[in-house]
Structure formats: structure tokens, C-alpha cells
Structure 1
Amino acid sequence: MNIDGVLLNDSFSPVMRRLVESRGRAYSARFERELLSQPQHVAARWAADELGGDAEQLLKEYFALREEYVQEHPVHMLDGAAELLATLRALQVRTVCYGGLDRSHFARHLGEFAHCFDAPGYVCTNDFRPGIREITELFGLRHDQVLFIDDVARVAGTARERGTAFIGHPGESGHGYQRQLMETAGVRHIVGTLWEIDETLLRTVDAEAAAGRIWG
């Protein structure tokens, strides 16, 4: 499961919108498609080409804006996240969390739930986003034996290429275009809240994956 936008509130795409609009540009699906779930240096270079300026300086500006944003909108677990983790534990499936920030982000905001995850608990994917291949290989599994739950359509596209099960959680207002992009990518299961990811849905996805119909 992705950490920001699935288990925690999204504190990244709303900041992207602020940054883009502060440069006098209209925020669009194109920006979300090119910037989300990319390594930081890749996203920064693309943004610099579009918005002007130095990529490194733009990245610093982005994280400064994020610090302001989280003062207004503190990072917190999303409604239903604890219950979803409990459901996964009850089903005895191996569970790991991943995201683009370092492990301290996981420890700070999900540390009390660390027992709900299997080793290594958290995987930083900044160097190899979106990370589907690397996380799957970390567990020694085939791509059709893994389910990813994410809020970004880019991850869905990679999951489809590899025949990996996927549940989309486009969620909050910051991801203004992710539901649309997921639908275009052919995601079958898109939820508005984590409460929708219950045992019934998980077993449905598992059966579809076993039958090779998750993207069919």
C-alpha cells in the first residue's frame, strides 16, 4: 500500500497545484500525469522545463511549500486505514507500505501500526518509482501474486503492464485528475474511501487475479 494518499492524507499533489499556479500556469491532468510517482529528480527536471528555473531550486521550493501546507493540513491517517490494516492481518497476507520519502516518514506517522506490516515494513521507492517490480521481487513473488493499492494512475499503468492486481484510491481533492486517469488506464476497482476495501473486495480481486481477469 502506498503511504501518502492511501494510508495517510495526500500532502503532495495539493502542493504541486500550489507550485504550478504560483508560476502563473493552469494546473492540469498533464502535470499530475508527469509529476506524480516519479523520482524527485525526474519530476523536478520535468517541472523546471515546464515552469522555468533550476530543477534543484524548484525541488527546494516545493518542499518549503509542503512544510507550509502541512502546518495548515497536518499529516494524519485516513479514515478506515487502521481497520484496513486489521483486515489484512486477519487474512494473514503479507503487507508492506511504500512511498517516496525516507523511512522516518513512516516511523513518525505509522510507527504505532508497525506490527501490521511485514519486514521490511516500509520501502522507500524514490530511486525506482513506481516500484512495482522492485517490491514484488523483494518478496520473491510473481507479478500476478501481488496486489498494489495506490492513489496514482501511473502506478496502475505499470501494474497493468505487468499483470499485477491493483485497487485505485484517488481519494482527496488534491488528486483532481487521478480517477479520470485510472478509468482511462482500465482500472476495474476504484474506491472513494478505504472502508470499501473490505474482505469481500479483497477476495474478489484475488479471484480475478488467479483467473487472469484482473485487467480483462
Structure 2
Amino acid sequence: MPRQLAHLRLVAVNIDGVLLNDSFSPVMRRLVEGYGATYDARFEREMLSQPQRVAAQRAADRLGGDAGQLIKEYFALREEYIREHPVHLLDGAAELLATLREFDVRTVCYGGLERAHFDRHLGEFADYFDAPGYVCTNDFRPGIREISELFGLRHDQALFIDDVARVAGTARELGTPFIGHPGESSHGYQRQLMEEAGVRHMVGTLRAIDAPLLRTVDAEAAAGTVWD
């Protein structure tokens, strides 16, 4: 029998940076520094978890050039990067999905790339997710409002697990439960930015998202104290 939670009805898990290794922010750094610019926390805050067209235009405003061309350059650099650092399942990801399946909540994966990315790298775990399994959020990032509404839930009934502080900021605005999984500080500034955003629950390993932590977040959501 599934374990019961008092309040949460959905757990939404980001794909790149949570279940899979981050193959985006390191590439962003390469692109920016290739233009002779400084990659800093402000730049990273403006770029991550934005629709591609928005991120590209902001990058063009800072770096110069055409937004469309920057998108092409970015994805060409990403192809080079993943040849050096192949996309792979992060340590503890399978265990996290198994833990979530023990509870009476629905689980969905989301991210900025098309579904083919999910099918290719997480297809073997498809049974761990509820329909539609994966939601592409490129047109409405970060997607908290839209994913919650897709499942017919209030914003406080869905827990989001993400590696980007912009998502945390939106979660705070909406009163949505959030667990942060920021990447290594050598790659970017997300831990710093999450701390500034007031994220209460941050983990360095997916294994830390266990039953006790989920029950803690559930109790905070039920009490309306997620961001207090």
C-alpha cells in the first residue's frame, strides 16, 4: 500500500540538473567566455530557466550579435560538450524515483527540451511517471503554474525539485513547495542564488530526498509554512 501524504498530490522533477547531469550551464559559460565576456551570477540568473528565445535575446543584448545565431552557436557548443561529457543519469536518481513511487502522489518530469530528450535518456524509467510523463516547458518557463494547473491542482499541492534558483523564486511567489538541487559551485552560481532566494531545503545529493524529507515538506505545505 502506498505511503500517505497529507497535502501534496504531485511531485514535478526537473530533468537536466536533477535526474540527468547539467549539460547547459557549463555550455553557457563557454559561450559567454568565448565572446570575451565575464560569466557571473547576474548573467546566469538572467539566462537559466528562460524560454530559448528570451535567453538568446538577453545574451545578444550582453554579448552582441543576433539572437538566432547565438542559439545555433549554443547548441553547436553543447554537442561538443556532450561528446566530452555524455548525458547520464545522476547518482541517486533511480533511487529518488523509486522513493517517490512509494507515496500516493503523481510524479512528472519536466524540462526545456523536446520530449525526445526524455525518451532517449529516461525511457527505461517511464513507468515511474504519470501521464503525460514529461512536460516540455520551453514556451512557458519555469512552468510551475502551468504544470500545477495541468494536473488540476493548487500551486501549494505540487512539490518541485529543480537545480535553478529562478524556479525557486517563482515557487516562492506562488507558495509552492520546493527542494533545490543546485549544481557544483565550480560550474555556476545556483547554490548562492538559492540561498539568496530563501530556499529552505537544498540537497547536495539526490539520496537526501528521502521519506523523512518528503514528509517534512508535506507537513509544511499543509501548514502553509513552506516559505516562512
TM-score when normalising by structure 1: 0.99
Task: Check the 8 A contact 1:10/1:174 in 2, yes or no.
Answer: no
SS in 1 for 2:161: strand
1:15 matched to 2:27: yes
**Stretches (4+) displaced over 6 A:** none
Q: Which residue number in structure 1 is paired with residue 212 of structure 2?
A: 200
Aligned partner (choices 31, 40, 47) of residue 35 of structure 1:
47
TM superposition shift of 1:172: 3.0
Matching of residue 182 in structure 1 with residue 194 in structure 2: yes
Question: How many pairs were matched up?
Answer: 216
Shift of 1:171: 2.3
What displacement does 1:31 show? 1.1
Question: Aligned partner of 1:16: which letter?
Answer: M
Q: 1:126 maps to which residue? A: 138
Secondary structure of the 2:107 match is coil
Residue aligned with 2:97, SS: helix
What letter corresponds to residue 15 of structure 1 in structure 2?
V
Q: Deviations over 1:5-29 (max 9, x none)?
A: 0000000000000000000011100
Stretches of structure 2 that go unaligned for 5 or more consecutive residues are 1-12
Q: TM-score, normalised by structure 2?
A: 0.93
In the alignment, residue 93 of structure 2 is paired with which amino acid? Answer: A
Q: Which whole-Å deviations, capped at 9, do the CAs of 1:119-162 have from their partners, x for residues lacking one?
A: 00000000000000000000000111110000000000000000
Q: Tell me which amino acid in the other structure corresponds to 1:126.
A: N
Quote the residue 2:101 is aligned against. 89
Tell me which of 75, 90, 95 is aligned to 2:87: 75
One-letter amino acid of the structure 1 residue matched with residue 26 of structure 2:
P
- Which sections of structure 1, spanning at least 5 residues, go unmatched? none
| Cα gap change, 1:79 to 1:67, in 2 (>3 Å) | same
Mean Cα deviation higher: 87-96 or 109-118: 87-96
Verify: 1:210 aligned to 2:226, yes or no.
no
1:157 paired residue number? 169
Partner Cα distance (1:77, 1:121) in 2: 17
Higher-RCO chain (CA-CA 8 Å, sequence separation at least 6):
2
Tell me which residue corresponds to 2:116.
104
